[in-house]
């Protein structure tokens, strides 16, 4: 209420001020004409007539051209343009009426030129003078403000500094930009001081407190360099949103955020055929298992944008399922969702779910995926990842499901751990079941996702917050990474491309050294590796490989219509033999006979090289 009252008072003051200038401009125009001497009586009468006509016309012109949309404190070129338009149109209209009424009798021609010039000068000058006073006051008050350096003197940088100048919390000291032509230029009164290579000495010399990166399309290598330099200088580094986040095309200080690991490790934006995905999903009943997990919950989020007839969210973890269900409640088509508690290992529950909802498409994201935990609890991993997956795959085929999309992992390639072997077995089962039913079974395989429950990122974050040390298993260990939304988008895209039996391998870009990731995360926390946070090497864990692979040597890899999705070959198995092995697996799981389980897993996945301790 107070803000509205303040705005009303401000605009009323501006209105009275501008009306007063109409009369003052008329008086000064006539005074100039007679050299500030006495104005003859018949000219005085003409001046009053001029004033009576000009006042209501200028009032209308002021409002029509929006003189009171702007704020004097931020008077700028658009405000001056509106003043020019209002005065010119208002003056010409007044002259026309005066000509019709008085034939301009008693009005010297020179006043017709002087009047609009004086009026424009009065309206614009008052506003600019007010802004100058406020800016001067602001500069005096910015002694304690944070001194900021802006990297990027393009459009985003100009919009950012424009907004910063309105705030008392920051004092923009200068720009850095690699464009040589911009060096020495002023942008909103803030100078371009040099290029990015000069950041370190400029930060020190000018006592910079924070660095703002105004490069929405910044290359990750540039960001990595900036983060390292700012970390070494103990200066906070923030960035504007990237191009995808900045859909509204404005940049404000409130949009600034800390640089994230995704910014440093992310890849070029991937273009998706959303129309194709929409045609695949719209109007269908879709079930997502493991919908409370990292991949499953993001599948639910993205799925809702394509308007399925029904979305069945299945998970055995009550709290995780509650979280994603609660998150989707704000969506218009939330009524299409159904949160179902259930375990894919529970045959009775799964039969009820499939018969009750009869899904057209199933995305199976339910799995035990923590390598060390599954390594220590192999029977539980096999019960979920192999037996649970095969059971719901059979039910999908039995109930006439159109598509079954199996979410797999790069750890299924030449697996060195139980988790990878179980996921490989699930791939094999789905590929071969595809030839025995009408349901199309499609598998998508990719590496680690940043920020997922099984990722190393949350662990590193906890260790950094605790003051270290950050533990890395080996100095040369590498992994493939992509963001969760990116992985899910590619899963949806791959699902639309399959006819059944395929394994689609998502292009993960270049592998990332875990030691480099640890250093980046320490720097993002504003700390220096080894000085502030120690990094310790703990040795490879059981079942852990130095590097992951995305496809087997025996698999023939082909391109697809999407440059980021590749197609892997299939592996045929003796179906009756698989069924017999699965029966034996169920029995060994009930008896917790780990050596027997590992032996059966090796028979089904010959490339699996288990840890020796599991064989005894």
Point out the residues that are catalytic.
Answer: 411
The b-or-e profile of 466-475 (16+ CB within 10 A means b, else e) is eebbbbbbbe
Cα separation, 559 vs 2, whole angstroms: 63
Largest CA distance in the chain: 120
Cα separation, 578 vs 608, whole angstroms: 16
Which burial class, exposed, middle or buried, applies to 293 when counting CB atoms under 10 A from its CB (0-12, 13-18, 19+)?
A: buried
Q: Where are the beta strands (DSSP E) in 376-430?
A: 403-409
CB 136 within 8 A of CB 158: no
Instruction: Report residue 475 as tokens.
Output: 């100095």
| Selection from 229, 228, 227, 247 nearest residue 238 by Cα | 227
Cα separation, 160 vs 249, whole angstroms: 12
Cα separation, 487 vs 298, whole angstroms: 9
Cα separation, 56 vs 74, whole angstroms: 27
| Selection from 348, 347, 353, 335 nearest residue 288 by Cα | 353
| Selection from 26, 13, 84 nearest residue 55 by Cα | 26
How many CA atoms are closer than 13 Å to the CA of 239, on its beta-carbon side?
Answer: 25
CB 328 within 8 A of CB 302: no
Cα separation, 180 vs 21, whole angstroms: 46
Tokens 């220590």 — which residue? 376
Helix, strand or coil for residue 83?
Answer: helix
Cα separation, 64 vs 415, whole angstroms: 73
CB 292 within 8 A of CB 286: no
CB 23 within 8 A of CB 10: no
Helix, strand or coil for residue 105?
Answer: coil
Cα separation, 496 vs 512, whole angstroms: 29
Strand 236-239 with 257-258, pairing? antiparallel
CB 174 within 8 A of CB 200: no
CB 286 within 8 A of CB 310: yes
- Phi, psi dihedrals of residue 355, rounded to the nearest 5°: -75, -30
Radius of gyration of the chain (CA): 35
């Amino acid at each position: 209420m107070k803000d509205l009252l303040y705005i009303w008072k401000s605009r009323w003051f501006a209105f009275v001020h501008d009306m007063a200038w109409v009369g003052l401009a008329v008086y000064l125009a006539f005074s100039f004409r007679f050299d500030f001497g006495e104005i003859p009586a018949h000219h005085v009468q003409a001046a009053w007539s001029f004033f009576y006509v000009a006042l209501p016309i200028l009032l209308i012109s002021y409002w029509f051209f929006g003189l009171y949309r702007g704020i004097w404190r931020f008077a700028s070129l658009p405000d001056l343009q509106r003043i020019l338009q209002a005065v010119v149109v208002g003056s010409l209209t007044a002259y026309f009426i005066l000509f019709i009424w008085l034939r301009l009798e008693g009005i010297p021609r020179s006043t017709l030129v002087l009047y609009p010039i004086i009026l424009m000068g009065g309206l614009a000058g008052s506003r600019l003078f007010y802004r100058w006073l406020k800016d001067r006051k602001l500069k005096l008050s910015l002694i304690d403000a944070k001194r900021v350096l802006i990297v990027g003197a393009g459009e985003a940088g100009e919009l950012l500094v424009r907004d910063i100048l309105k705030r008392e919390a920051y004092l923009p000291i200068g720009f850095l930009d690699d464009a040589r032509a911009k060096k020495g230029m002023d942008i909103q009164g803030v100078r371009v001081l040099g290029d990015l290579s000069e950041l370190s000495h400029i930060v020190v010399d000018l006592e910079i407190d924070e660095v703002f990166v105004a490069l929405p399309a910044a290359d990750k290598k540039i960001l990595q360099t900036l983060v390292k330099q700012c970390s070494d200088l103990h200066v906070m580094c923030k960035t504007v949103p990237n191009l995808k986040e900045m859909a509204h095309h404005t940049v404000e200080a409130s949009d600034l955020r800390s640089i994230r690991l995704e910014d440093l490790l992310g890849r070029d934006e991937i273009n998706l055929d959303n129309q194709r995905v929409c045609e695949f999903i719209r109007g269908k009943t879709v079930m997502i298992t493991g919908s409370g997990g990292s991949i499953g919950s993001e599948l639910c989020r993205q799925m809702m944008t394509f308007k399925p007839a029904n979305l069945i969210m299945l998970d055995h973890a009550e709290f995780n399922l509650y979280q994603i269900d609660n998150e989707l409640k704000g969506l218009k088509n939330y009524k299409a969702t159904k949160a179902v508690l259930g375990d894919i290992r529970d045959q009775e529950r799964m039969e009820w779910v499939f018969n009750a909802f009869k899904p057209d498409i199933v995305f199976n994201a339910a799995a035990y995926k923590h390598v060390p935990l599954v390594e220590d609890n192999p029977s539980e991993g096999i019960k979920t990842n192999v037996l649970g997956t095969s059971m719901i795959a059979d039910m999908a085929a039995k109930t006439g499901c159109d598509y079954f999309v199996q979410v797999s992992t790069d750890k299924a390639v030449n697996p060195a751990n139980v988790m990878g072997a179980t996921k490989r077995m699930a791939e094999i089962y789905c590929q071969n079941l595809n030839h025995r039913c009408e349901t199309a079974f499609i598998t998508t395989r990719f590496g680690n996702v940043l920020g997922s429950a099984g990722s190393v990122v949350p662990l590193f974050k906890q260790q950094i917050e605790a003051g270290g040390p950050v533990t890395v298993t080996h100095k040369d260990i590498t992994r493939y990474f992509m963001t969760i939304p990116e992985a899910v988008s590619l899963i949806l895209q791959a699902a639309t491309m399959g006819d059944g039996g395929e394994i689609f391998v998502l292009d993960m870009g270049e592998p990332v050294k875990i030691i480099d990731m640890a250093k980046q995360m320490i720097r993002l926390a504003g700390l220096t590796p080894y000085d502030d946070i120690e990094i310790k090497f703990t040795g490879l864990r059981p079942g852990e490989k130095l590097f992951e692979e995305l496809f087997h040597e025996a698999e023939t890899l082909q391109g697809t219509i999407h440059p980021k999705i590749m197609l892997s070959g299939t592996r045929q198995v003796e179906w009756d033999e698989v069924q017999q092995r699965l029966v034996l697996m169920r029995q060994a799981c009930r008896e917790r006979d780990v050596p027997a389980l590992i032996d059966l897993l090796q028979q089904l996945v010959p490339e699996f090289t288990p840890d020796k301790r599991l064989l005894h």
